[in-house]
Amino acid sequence: MSYESEKLAAALKVSREKKGLSQRALSARSGVPQSHISKIESGAVNLTVSSLTAIANALDLELALVPRKAAPAVRTITRSVNDAPKATPEARKEIARLARQLEHIQSLKIDSLAFEKLQRQFRELRQFENLIRNTDTLRSIREALKAVEGPAGVAALQDASKQMNSLRNLLAQGVGDEERTRVPRPAYRLDGDNDE
């Protein structure tokens, strides 16, 4: 097997493992026999274009011929996609709890524009869940939603909506939790304000 084929086979194996797929599961997705996938990954057989295409498609990879001059740019972009932050386990748990709380409120058949707005904001917030490092605001939103069944009702929905909107906007602007508490520095400072 040539060096380039070995690099491709190794990249396919890494991609398969990152997706948490066994060779058998990849075989079911791609239509390439598991024994052949094993031989490809071990370097026992040459990788054919048809096998490469089928396996790449099953791993959500795109095959492309890139001009040599553009290859460094493509590698940089690919690296940045692979190195994107992942949601922390705490954030995933808190978002799941928040989703269950919203489902519970929906089961109460509360007919309110505030609830519809809150659901939309939650869907938008989920797009930024990989940026959430501190789950205090999510817990605060969930606590506000617990008051929906009480006399606070719509006011609790509006409070939760306001908090969720604020968090979503901060995450969309790329402001991390630690930056939120930092006092902004002035753009300039006037020294010697004395008008004597």
- Read off the pLDDT of residues 92-146 as tens digits, 9 standing for 90 and up: 888 888 888 888 888 877 767 777 888 888 888 888 777 887 788 888 888 888 8
101 and 77 co-located in one domain: no
Determine, yes or no, domain membership for 75: yes
CA nearest 1: which of 57, 48, 66, 36? 48
Q: What's residue 35's pLDDT?
A: 93
Based on the fold, state whether residues 118 and 94 are members of the same structural domain.
Answer: yes
152 occurs within a structural domain: yes
Domain that holds residue 75: 3-82
The answer to the question of residue 189 being in a domain is no
Q: What is the pLDDT of residue 83?
A: 63
67 and 99: one domain?
A: no
Looking at the fold, whether 101 and 162 belong to one and the same domain comes out as: yes
Radius of gyration of the chain (CA): 25
Q: Do 59 and 97 belong to one domain?
A: no
Is 72 part of a structural domain of the chain?
A: yes
Structural domain contains residue 192: no
Structural domain ending residue among the three candidates 57, 82, 107:
82
Q: Give yes or no: residues 122 and 60 share one domain.
A: no
Q: Are the C-beta atoms of 121 and 161 separated by less than 8 Å?
A: yes
* Cα distances (Å, whole numbers) of residue 95 to 125, 126, 129, 136, 193: 9, 8, 8, 11, 50
Same-domain check for residues 69 and 96: no
Structural domain includes residue 191: no
Is residue 70 a part of any domain in this protein?
A: yes
Q: What is the pLDDT of residue 85?
A: 65
Q: Tell me the mean pLDDT in the region 3-30.
A: 88
State pLDDT tens for residues 156-175.
Answer: 888 888 888 888 888 877 75
SS3 192: coil
For residue 149, pLDDT beyond 90? no
Query: Which of 78-82, 103-107, 149-153 shows the lowest mean pLDDT across its residues?
Result: 78-82
pLDDT tens column, 55-72: 998 988 888 888 989 888
Residue 131 resides in a domain:
yes
CA 13 to the chain's CA centroid: 23
Q: What is the tally of structural domains in the chain?
A: 2
Q: How far apart are CA 136 and CA 142, in angstroms?
A: 10
20 & 99 share domain: no
Report helix, strand or coil for 2: coil
Q: What are phi and psi of 62, to 5 degrees?
A: -115, 130
146 Cβ neighbours under 8 A, 6+ residues apart: 101, 156
3-state DSSP of 46-106: CCCHHHHHHHHHHCCCCCCCCCHHHHHHHHHHHHHHHCCCCCCHHHHHHHHHHHHHHHHHH
pLDDT at residue 95 in the model: 87
Residue 43 makes CB contacts below 8 A (sequence gap 6+) with 1, 5, 6, 9
Among 3-12, 13-22, 110-119, 172-181, which stretch is predicted with the lowest mean pLDDT?
Answer: 172-181
Q: Are residues 23 and 95 in the same domain?
A: no
Most distant CA pair in the chain, distance: 88
- pLDDT by residue (tens digit) across 82-96? 666 677 888 888 888
